[in-house]
Structure 1
Amino acid sequence: MSAKLNIIIITESIEVNDSSASKGRVALIQNLHKAGFQLKIYHYTRKPMALEGIACVAIKEQKGTLNYFLSKAQLLLKRFLGLNANQWVEKQFGFSFAFFNDSYSIIKALQKENPENFDWILTLSKAASFRPHKALLGLPQWHDKWLAYIHDPYPMHFYPRPYTWVEPGYYQKQEFFREVSKKAAFGVFPSKLLQEWMGSYYPDFLERGIVIPHQISENEIKTNSTLPTYFDAKKFTILHAGSLMKQRDPKGLVEGYALFLKKHPKAAAQTQLLFLGNNDYHAPYLNAQGAAIPSLYVSKGYVAYESVRAMQQEASVNVILEAKAEISPFLPGKFSHCIQVEKPILHLGPTLSETRRLLGNAYPYTAEIDAVQSIANHLHTLYDNWQQTKQQPPVAYADLKAYLGVNHLRDTLLNLT
């Protein structure tokens, strides 16, 4: 296969500010471009968008279909009568009327393209949507060139415990993805454990699956971003950036930090623990702890992406906090950011996790999320290292940087047959 691959990409959004998922997808697109591949992007961002040096086409929403009118009628029922028919619709049909119309809109846009002009077609999604994947099922002429990117377990009842989500229309969603597993040329996963996890439900993903991890993108980091006033760059800073869902309990980290301060009271004036991002479920606990521990800061919801990236770069320790579980097949989107800034990572999560697998068995700063004593011990060690120069020694992460970088991405795709 030619080293100059021609790839058409279908993605729901290239607006990096709308979600962490879109940031990750754009980083992948940018690295595919850097790898020297010829790209054409069809995106459903609903507004004109551009990525430097890459051809981008905004997909037009089809507004003359029955599903379009039904979706709007459903919105009017909710707005004026307070009736939410979405659960009933999804139980009957598996998906919303809007989902069907959006997928059809993607099909209509792709009908202008000839599969013979491309080596691969890559479908990217976010959250639990997978509209581009639904569209591709309706375009069999693309199936032998289809790379179906699967960023999380799907449907949601396939999430490992403690996640216990079951969506309306779960059976139709399950069979939809069975069809994806059989029709796509390859399933693409950000983590090896996720490929194996999904392969346990859909065996075709084990036979025809590849791993493309979340990418390090040099375009993302801006060293001139202004740090917020609550971030004191002179202090030993422990930073958790990202949403705290119900299952990601910060209590162990907070108690470990409090225990560390109790054993080392002089550290109180030299340290800070920051939680950035949405934390609605844990807000009562975190706010109470923030009142009791002056060096604990909890943001009021979302923090601008550029500001978060600047703080990750200046933090002494970046925290990856996962659910209490037997397995965590996810590769957190911020993993590549944490590797890029070369600061120690404090991983709080199960031993059987993609983060732990990549960091390696010998990596020292790991613990279960409720292992308070171990967390306090790690903070003590990291603080002692920082105290020597008032700056955390960089961690090279050379192998991981290569794994998350352009050359590995290029080789992975060139080796596909």
Structure 2
Amino acid sequence: MNAIEQDIYDRLGHVIDPELGKSITEIGMVTGVRVTPHEGEDSNTTNVYDVSISIELTVPGCPLSKTITDRINAAVGSYTEAKLIPHIEVGSMSQEKLAKLVEQLKAERHENPFNKPGNTTRIFAIASGKGGVGKSSVTANLAATFSALGYDTAAIDADIYGFSLPKLFGTSEQPVNLNGMLMPATAWGVKFMSIGNFAGSEKAILWRGPRLQRSLEQFLADVWWGSPDVLLLDLAPGTGDMAISVAQALPNAELVVVTTPQPSASDIAARSGLVALQVPMRVRGVVENMSWFEHKGEKLEIFGHGGGQRVADQLTHALHYNVPLLTQLPLDPEIREVGETGRPAVLDENGKLRDDDFAKAFKDLAEKLIEPPQL
């Protein structure tokens, strides 16, 4: 019995808490494993055992309780030497135990986990010169694409005044507060934080520069992100306080500039990239949105053409390194309609990448960005 119990406990060490990204045994969630001979309809069959597993969740009524118990059942089911019938008893941690866990996590995390030595997270700040060019839609779809491709993906809604990620991801879920440390909301495989998860979409935000900077610091330092492969930031339009704060807090961030084809948008978009002349951020490239509208097989350039390439050329000349036009995206009412339902348009209802030109463009964009920049 002891050998089976130890084997089951070892297997539970591979069950990962979906919020903390750590093993449920490592964080003390498993408080007991007990194996006894099964006394039921299979009692006359050899090698049939009941397995009683006691776990303590970090908070009572944790919304991810079923996910955790499903993973435990799968771990128990992987034991092939005998038939095991799992029984899971779910409780919650005491305040003292939770406080010790949070202190342990904070000690591991440091203040800004994305600046600590050895951090491998790729950080992309999505910028634009003006509003209305589809920057937030690009952020949401790019994040969903990275996640669908298997990358551990996080996103921060750094557009405090014009936050939109909760609507684009289809959730207003409030982050779980673990003794002062927040667990990010999760939708479509993406962990994200937005002031909209606290303020509500109907409220206006009236903050000045110092408070804006503090909000970003809190999103970075007071949230348990784990170790994501990719972090996306949806910046506010222009080159204001938040863009400077991102550059100061995340000097390893790479800038992606979003524009539309017409000169009135592309000329302003170039300015958002030129911020790299004054802060330590590299511009990875340009995304041209709303490039054409397809009607009866013909591509109609409603907003003109060439804006994305103009921005790429201007930035290449000013920054003295190659800033490519990464992709061009169509203007499609269906993309807007799907996005407004709370599902990134690159995904189908099951969260898989769609097999269409729009999703393929984002897949290509993600693959280009994840490659190391050419110096």
TM-score (norm 2): 0.37
Structure with the higher fraction of residues in helix conformation: 1
Structure with the higher fraction of residues in strand conformation: 2
Structure with max Cα Rg: 2
TM-score (norm 1): 0.34
